[in-house]
Amino acid sequence: MDEHYAINPGTSALLTDLYQLTMLQAYFDKGMEDSAVFEFSSRKLPSTRGFLMAAGLEQVLDFLEHMRFTSEELEWLAQSGRFSRDFIDYLDRLRFAGDVHAMPEGTIFFPPEPIMRVTAPLPQAQLVETRLINLLHFQTLIASKAARAVLVARGKGLIDFGLRRAHGAEAGLLAARASYLAGFAGTATVLAGFLYGVPVYGTMAHSFVQAHDDEAEAFEHFANTQPDNVVLLIDTYDTEAAAEKVVALAPRLQQEGIHIKGVRLDSGDLADLARKVRRILDDGGLTDVRILASGNLDEEAVRNLVESNAPIDDFAIGTRLDTSVDVPYLDCAYKLHEYAGQARRKRSTGKATWPGRKQVFRQSGPDGHMGGDILALEDDPLQGEPLLQQVMRAGQRLHPSPPLSEVRQYAAAELARLPDHLRQLRVEPPYTVSIATTLHELADAVDRRTSVTSSL
Amino acid sequence: MDEHYAINPGTSALLTDLYQLTMLQAYFDKGMEDSAVFEFSSRKLPSTRGFLMAAGLEQVLDFLEHMRFTSEELEWLAQSGRFSRDFIDYLDRLRFAGDVHAMPEGTIFFPPEPIMRVTAPLPQAQLVETRLINLLHFQTLIASKAARAVLVARGKGLIDFGLRRAHGAEAGLLAARASYLAGFAGTATVLAGFLYGVPVYGTMAHSFVQAHDDEAEAFEHFANTQPDNVVLLIDTYDTEAAAEKVVALAPRLQQEGIHIKGVRLDSGDLADLARKVRRILDDGGLTDVRILASGNLDEEAVRNLVESNAPIDDFAIGTRLDTSVDVPYLDCAYKLHEYAGQARRKRSTGKATWPGRKQVFRQSGPDGHMGGDILALEDDPLQGEPLLQQVMRAGQRLHPSPPLSEVRQYAAAELARLPDHLRQLRVEPPYTVSIATTLHELADAVDRRTSVTSSL
């Protein structure tokens, strides 16, 4: 019943699709261990996104370094009867020993650009597909949505409150990380503070107020016990009445040296309530008490509140961020582009891919803004900043990972370089990604080759 | 850099919102350890859902049994400076020792019915809020969507293919569990087979075909290495041409005793391609080769394909299931309804709750179908089947958990009892949930009491 606590789902090599293992058995039987090149890319932008922000590289590199089969897992695989004993022994020895090129976390990119390339013996590169997509897809999804809130918040504080309705524990933790990286001030998720060093914020729940017989008593009690972090939730019963209680309480707390830092609104018409509460607080001399708003917010709601000049200082965004509610997934894939020295591509309807080892060359526009990208082959002699950099060689990281705070600064610089209309969340005109002639030529050559061999 | 592999995020008590800990410090300071009653419920149905299916209880009970702070976590909390040393010692000893009542997994329910009630000393009941919601919310979300696909599939096979775009590892694993529970045949996620005993299915990827110089050779190679599981992906280049290759290959494999089980279509117009492929297979004598369809499917797509009599035998549903794309979250909460023997409720605009310890009494309708529910107080002497049952006492489970296959049978029986129009995924008229008079009376009494004390 508890066996699922005995293994770490994050590094288990069983965190994969069955077809990876059946394909690996076939590669093993046939000795197909030549070098393969896979790239992870998003096929197209969702209609409501003008750009995406790369995230999740750090967790992918961790996974590639640590991924292995436990003896218990191997025994279970052997008993399934699907695999040969030789192959099970081979899995026992299997480690990722390939190369990885990637865009740094926080980089802005535009489909169909790849953000990661894996070069490794075919079975290794294939096996890691599922978890690699799982990690890159989700953090990129969240960073891309969080960045939108950052752009419209105009410097107001943003906090992630989404763990409870995130899709499982890892989603909550990685959403806290990805939104911080994209420019949020922090998260309510304590474990994300412990694991990733994300600053942690918190106030109180309605249940705290309800557990007391009197709302004012609840406020005073909380202030006494958390004197450095007095943020009071004032919408449990009647928001304006509660704001008056805060004003009445403040002088008594002041005598004890306790300063009320803020109040939180979690329901109702937030702009209207914020104005009323601001007036009550100001009239009571509490001009420096901040107002934090929460409750079903997303970047559109934040933009409307900011543009209406609602006197809200900080926004907590939860469910709609952590589930990326308007775009719950990206159309992305990890595809084979070269095997045994030959370029490959898939031609399935609507899902065709560009073959070969690719690079993205970013051009500089006016005022240092991004001026268009060129998707090309790695060796093409093009101008511009190459966005994919080697980060792992033969299974070893080339550099220690940068602190998350540094990634966050880089992400902020990336957002600052976006063309103005994309910063304003407009999606038209789309950012220009040109496809180099060399890529078109290679695709044609691959099609001619596979048509011929397929029809033999 | 690797510290996040040293702890298990699934049982860490730090997998919570900071406010739980600040509130606990306050409760500790004031000795507020009286018994509290919290209930988890969904406030209202999403507009595109006629019913929900409860899931996630098993993981919640595991969490309640195992949840604790490691010494490393406690040290980190102490160093934050937010908490007293006495309180840190208290957290070190803290275990969940409360009672839990819940609807069994697989039960159909209708908001605002609670599906779980926790009765425990206030700090214990409060601390577990975040992870409890995180677990119940997600599996209920997925089981509820998966059940819709089961209802429209009319007995055709359904397989979960969603891990790669699920929101993190845990989401993929729990989605595999929840969809199997709701009636899916299985999943592609190997670790879900290992952890939960969910049947595991798999075919091959496009990269397998691409890695070979010839498509027919790829098929033959796969068949030789996985003779008991020959399902061939035929859309990498040209679907009909590939189907012809399957027909050409079959006699040779037959001589080696290898039987082709199925082919998979992953792109294009699935109904049209399935008809063409079926004809090619049938003309080639392969009438028992199954056709599996995948690629951006959800319950609407499955319904359309089934109703159009497309000759598809099995459907693999991935991303759109695991992200519950049309409804990425449920409006749900875990709220305090009683403390120290007194009923409580919240009156925030749009988020008011029913006070007290509640029970759901289900009435029997015509032909044994569900005939309407009554949300009432636990002790109300009402007719009908009480849906909440005690599953944990003083922190200990009352019964071993049922095997997942048994839960799946129970879920199927629940789906069979749904009123016909809900089985057809129509949402009107909504199922009747009446609120007992006793609940209205208690809510009024609580409001009178808190209005009086709040205005003192």
Do A288 and A397 sit in the same domain of this protein? no
Determine, for residues A26 and B235 on separate chains, whether the beta-carbon distance falls below 8 Å.
no
Interface A–B counts its CB contacts (< 8 A) at 380
Locate B236 and state its tokens: 């990498």
CA distance, residue B371 to nearest chain A CA (Å): 31
- A9 pLDDT band (50/70/90 cuts)? low
Contacts with B407 from chain A: Cβ below 8 Å: none
Q: Is B70 on the interface with A (CB under 8 A)?
A: no
Average pLDDT, chain B: 94
CA distance, residue B193 to nearest chain A CA (Å): 9
Give the nearest partner residue to A14 out of B129, B194, B196, using CB atoms.
B194
Put simply, the chain B residues between 366 and 385 with a CB less than 8 A from any chain A CB are none
Q: Is B428 on the interface with A (CB under 8 A)?
A: no
| Average pLDDT rounded to a whole number, residues B88-111 | 98
CB A233 within 8 A of CB A206: yes
Q: Is B226 on the interface with A (CB under 8 A)?
A: yes
Put simply, the chain B residues between 115 and 154 with a CB less than 8 A from any chain A CB are 122, 126, 129-131, 133-135, 137-138, 141
CA distance, residue B29 to nearest chain A CA (Å): 7
| Average pLDDT rounded to a whole number, residues A387-409 | 97
A177, A181, A184, A187 alpha-carbon torsion, rounded to 10°: 20
Q: Is-above-0.90 flag for pTM?
A: yes
Listed residues B268, B294, B320: the one ending a domain:
B294
Do B257 and B348 sit in the same domain of this protein? no
- B452 pLDDT band (50/70/90 cuts)? low
Do A353 and A397 sit in the same domain of this protein? yes
What CATH number does the domain containing B29 carry? 3.20.140.10
**Closest-approach residue (CA) in chain B for A265:** B348
Listed residues B267, B294, B321: the one ending a domain:
B294
- Structure confidence at residue B451 (pLDDT): 66
**Spatial CA neighbour of B329 closest among A176, A46, A298:** A298
Q: Is A110 on the interface with B (CB under 8 A)?
A: no
- B5 pLDDT band (50/70/90 cuts)? very low
- Structure confidence at residue B9 (pLDDT): 63
Q: Report in angstroms the alpha-carbon separations of B161 from A403, B186, B291, B350.
A: 35, 9, 16, 37
- B346 pLDDT band (50/70/90 cuts)? confident
Q: Is B91 on the interface with A (CB under 8 A)?
A: no
Do A203 and A135 sit in the same domain of this protein? no
| Average pLDDT rounded to a whole number, residues B50-66 | 96
**Closest-approach residue (CA) in chain B for A133:** B164
CA gap B212, B225 in Å, rounded:
15
**Tens of pLDDT, residues A313-365:** 999 999 999 999 999 999 999 999 999 999 988 777 777 789 999 999 999 99
Do A269 and A341 sit in the same domain of this protein? no
- Structure confidence at residue B8 (pLDDT): 62
The answer as to whether B179 is a domain residue is no
Determine, for residues B23 and A204 on separate chains, whether the beta-carbon distance falls below 8 Å.
yes
CB B105 within 8 A of CB B144: no
CA distance, residue A184 to nearest chain B CA (Å): 16
Q: Is the pLDDT of residue B7 over 60?
A: no
| Average pLDDT rounded to a whole number, residues A372-385 | 96
Determine, for residues A163 and B211 on separate chains, whether the beta-carbon distance falls below 8 Å.
no
Give the nearest partner residue to A191 out of B15, B188, B454, using CB atoms.
B15
Determine, for residues A329 and B347 on separate chains, whether the beta-carbon distance falls below 8 Å.
no
Q: Report, in angstroms and rounded to the nearest whole number, the Rg of chain A calculated over CA atoms.
A: 26
Q: Is A166 on the interface with B (CB under 8 A)?
A: yes
Q: Is A225 on the interface with B (CB under 8 A)?
A: yes
Determine, for residues B173 and A221 on separate chains, whether the beta-carbon distance falls below 8 Å.
no
CA distance, residue B434 to nearest chain A CA (Å): 25
| Average pLDDT rounded to a whole number, residues A121-130 | 98
Q: Is B221 on the interface with A (CB under 8 A)?
A: yes
The answer as to whether B259 is a domain residue is yes
Q: B289 φ, ψ to 5°?
A: -75, 125
**What are A160's strand-pairing partners?**
A187, A317
CA distance, residue B197 to nearest chain A CA (Å): 11
CA distance, residue B438 to nearest chain A CA (Å): 21
List alpha helices for B33-121, DSSP H: 57-66, 71-79, 85-93
**Tens of pLDDT, residues B271-280:** 999 999 999 9
| Average pLDDT rounded to a whole number, residues A169-183 | 97
CB B33 within 8 A of CB B123: yes
Give the nearest partner residue to B170 out of A25, A170, A224, using CB atoms.
A170
Give the nearest partner residue to B19 out of A80, A169, A204, using CB atoms.
A204
Q: How many CB atoms lie within 10 A of CB A38?
A: 25
The answer as to whether B270 is a domain residue is yes
Give the nearest partner residue to B15 out of A169, A208, A400, using CB atoms.
A169
Determine, for residues B210 and A319 on separate chains, whether the beta-carbon distance falls below 8 Å.
no
**Spatial CA neighbour of A186 closest among A209, A220, A162, A219:** A162
Q: Is the pLDDT of residue A281 over 90?
A: yes
Do A263 and A411 sit in the same domain of this protein? no
Listed residues B273, B294, B315: the one ending a domain:
B294
Average pLDDT, chain A: 94
**Spatial CA neighbour of A132 closest among A353, A407, A334, A335:** A334
**Closest-approach residue (CA) in chain B for A13:** B191
Determine, for residues A225 and B29 on separate chains, whether the beta-carbon distance falls below 8 Å.
yes
CA gap B336, A39 in Å, rounded:
49
Q: Is B44 on the interface with A (CB under 8 A)?
A: no
CA gap B251, A134 in Å, rounded:
40
**Tens of pLDDT, residues B162-221:** 999 999 999 999 999 999 999 999 999 999 999 999 999 998 999 999 999 899 999 999
CA gap B255, A310 in Å, rounded:
77
- Structure confidence at residue A2 (pLDDT): 36
Do B448 and B358 sit in the same domain of this protein? yes
Please tell me the least confidently modeled range out of A7-21, A432-446, B97-111: A7-21
Locate A335 and state its tokens: 């595809």
Q: Is the pLDDT of residue B283 over 70?
A: yes
SS (H, E, C) A253-277: HHHCCCCCCEEEECCCCHHHHHHHH
User: How many structural domains compose chain B?
Assistant: 2
Do B233 and B284 sit in the same domain of this protein? yes
CA distance, residue A380 to nearest chain B CA (Å): 24
- Structure confidence at residue B345 (pLDDT): 85
Q: Is the pLDDT of residue B76 over 60?
A: yes
Determine, for residues B455 and A241 on separate chains, whether the beta-carbon distance falls below 8 Å.
yes
Do B8 and B138 sit in the same domain of this protein? yes
CA distance, residue A161 to nearest chain B CA (Å): 8
Q: Is the pLDDT of residue B11 over 80?
A: no
Do B289 and B357 sit in the same domain of this protein? no
Residue B106 is given by DSSP the state T
Do B69 and B127 sit in the same domain of this protein? yes
Please tell me the least confidently modeled range out of A148-162, B236-250, B342-356, B377-391: B342-356
Do B54 and B107 sit in the same domain of this protein? yes
- With a pLDDT cut of 70, the percent of chain B lying above it is 96
- Complex ipTM over 0.90: yes
Q: E strands of A288-340, at which residues?
A: 290-293, 314-317, 332-339
What CATH number does the domain containing B215 carry? 3.20.20.70
| Average pLDDT rounded to a whole number, residues A48-65 | 97
The answer as to whether B63 is a domain residue is yes
Q: Is A191 on the interface with B (CB under 8 A)?
A: yes
- Structure confidence at residue B350 (pLDDT): 73
Q: Report in angstroms the alpha-carbon separations of A36 from A122, A324, A423.
A: 5, 33, 38
Q: Is the pLDDT of residue B232 over 70?
A: yes
Put simply, the chain B residues between 244 and 263 with a CB less than 8 A from any chain A CB are none
Q: Is the pLDDT of residue A95 over 50?
A: yes
**Closest-approach residue (CA) in chain B for A25:** B225
Q: Is the pLDDT of residue B351 over 80?
A: no
CA gap B199, B189 in Å, rounded:
9
Q: Is the pLDDT of residue B353 over 90?
A: no
Q: Is the pLDDT of residue A1 over 60?
A: no
Task: Show the domain range for A226.
Answer: 150-322
Locate A456 and state its tokens: 């033999």
Q: Is the pLDDT of residue B108 over 50?
A: yes
Establish how many alpha carbons lie within 13 A of residue A138's alpha carbon, considering only the half-sphere containing its beta carbon. 36
Determine, for residues A171 and B170 on separate chains, whether the beta-carbon distance falls below 8 Å.
yes
| Average pLDDT rounded to a whole number, residues A431-440 | 96
Contacts with B456 from chain A: Cβ below 8 Å: 214
Q: Is A453 on the interface with B (CB under 8 A)?
A: yes
Give the nearest partner residue to B171 out of A167, A191, A201, using CB atoms.
A167
Q: Please give the full DSSP string across A77-92, using - where no structure is assigned.
A: HHHTTSS-HHHHHHHH
